[in-house]
Amino acid sequence: MTPRPAGPRRTSRARRRGEGSAGRGPGPVAAVRGSGPVRTGPDGASRRGWSAAIATLTLTVSLAACGGGVGPADRSDDERPTAEATTPRALAAAVIDHVGRPASAAAPLFRRDGVPSGALGVEVACPDDRGISTHVRVVVSRRTAAFERFTCNSRATRFATGCEESSPGGVRTALSWEAGYPEEDPGYLSVAGLHDGWTVTISSHGPFFEEELGDERALADGLVDLAADPAVGFRTSASYVEAGAAIGDDVWLDYYGQGNGYPPPPELEDPGATG
């Protein structure tokens, strides 16, 4: 994994305590709390609908729990990162590779999950060595002018606890997070990566995020590298495709919430449906 460049631009703001969701405005980068219903993940843990916004783009982020399963891919450094068309399984393999932990559940995302038309998204659930579930959602979408305005000084990050800009491999990224409240809210973390022609947005929830990230710095760095990976886009490397195909049926779901009474998305019933 390519190290983060030294000296990223950073701004920090204290979280505004006591404000309701109506007073927060847009959340950082790609994750603000939504008002969707509580759902259950693959292992029965509750999950709440989240919405994600960068300027005019809004993505709904739904988070689930995890246990154990598939490990990181073994990717050759000299492999062409755009050798093959990306599949949802290949995108999930990239998440597993950069997070560096086994996954207990992974699934493609659909229009009802807030993924825009023409975009590609997955949600992956995995645990750390403390047994704390980490949930990662990744969406690849076409780059538009709305993304060009995103910086750590934009409206999108004005309520973030912290924000860092960097350019690993020449890809402009912005990492933003909101610290949690003990016994109340663990907080969340978001990343945006601006490539030449496409954008990668990532949201993560599960572990407790401190104001200076603390134990979750490694996770944050891994997700920044994921957002900047040239093989995370509409085309990907052969090894990610191979690793994705190897994800077991005990881990891969047709959709998130499968097996918990949550109905399948319209696209699975009718491939021509718009969700």
- Looking at the predicted structure, is the pLDDT value of residue 87 above 80? yes
DSSP-derived secondary structure for 106-162: EEE--GGGTPPTT-EEEEEEEE-TTS-EEEEEEEEEE--HHHHT--TTSGGGTT-SE
Q: Number of folded domains in the chain?
A: 1
Residue 183: DSSP 8-state: T
- CA 10 – CA 153 distance, rounded (Å): 10
- Per the CB < 8 A criterion, the answer to whether 59 and 116 are in contact is yes
Q: Range of 92's domain?
A: 24-71+81-251
| pLDDT per residue as tens digits for the range 238-249 | 999 999 999 999
The per-residue pLDDT for 58 is: 31
**Any idea which of 94-103, 221-230, 259-268 has the lowest mean pLDDT?**
259-268
Question: Per the domain annotation, does 259 fall within a domain?
Answer: no
pTM: 0.71
Q: Across residues 153-171, what is the average pLDDT?
A: 87
Per the domain annotation, does 258 fall within a domain? no
| Rg of the Cα atoms in the chain | 17
Q: What angle do CA 212, 217, 223 make, to 5 degrees?
A: 125
Average pLDDT over the chain reads: 74
Indicate the length of the chain as a whole number. 275
Q: Report yes or no on 36 lying in a domain.
A: yes
Q: Is the pLDDT of residue 31 over 80?
A: no
Q: Does any domain span residue 6?
A: no
Best mean pLDDT range from 96-100, 156-160, 206-210: 96-100
Encoded tokens for 7: 């000296």
What is the average pLDDT across 81-103?
Answer: 95
Q: Is position 177 within any domain? A: yes
Domain-embedded: residue 40: yes
In 3-state terms, what secondary structure has residue 176?
A: strand
Q: Which of 86-90, 164-168, 257-261 has the lowest mean pLDDT?
A: 257-261
In a domain, residue 161? The reply is yes
Q: Is the dihedral of CA 111, 198, 71, 175 positive or negative?
A: negative
At residue 193, does pLDDT exceed 60?
Answer: yes
| Domain contains 135 | yes
The total of other beta-carbon atoms located within 10 Å of residue 39's CB is: 18
Give the CA diameter of the chain.
51
Return left, alpha or beta for 217; rule: phi > 0 is left, psi -120 to 50 is alpha, else beta.
Answer: alpha
- How far does CA 141 lie from the centroid of its chain? 13
Nearest to 175 by CA among 233, 228, 220: 220
Task: Judge whether residue 39 has pLDDT over 50.
Answer: no
pLDDT at 271 over 90: no
Q: What is the mean pLDDT of residues 224-250?
A: 96
- The predicted model gives 62-81 an average pLDDT of 47
pLDDT value for 273: 60
The pLDDT value given to residue 246: 97
Amino acid residing at 256: Y
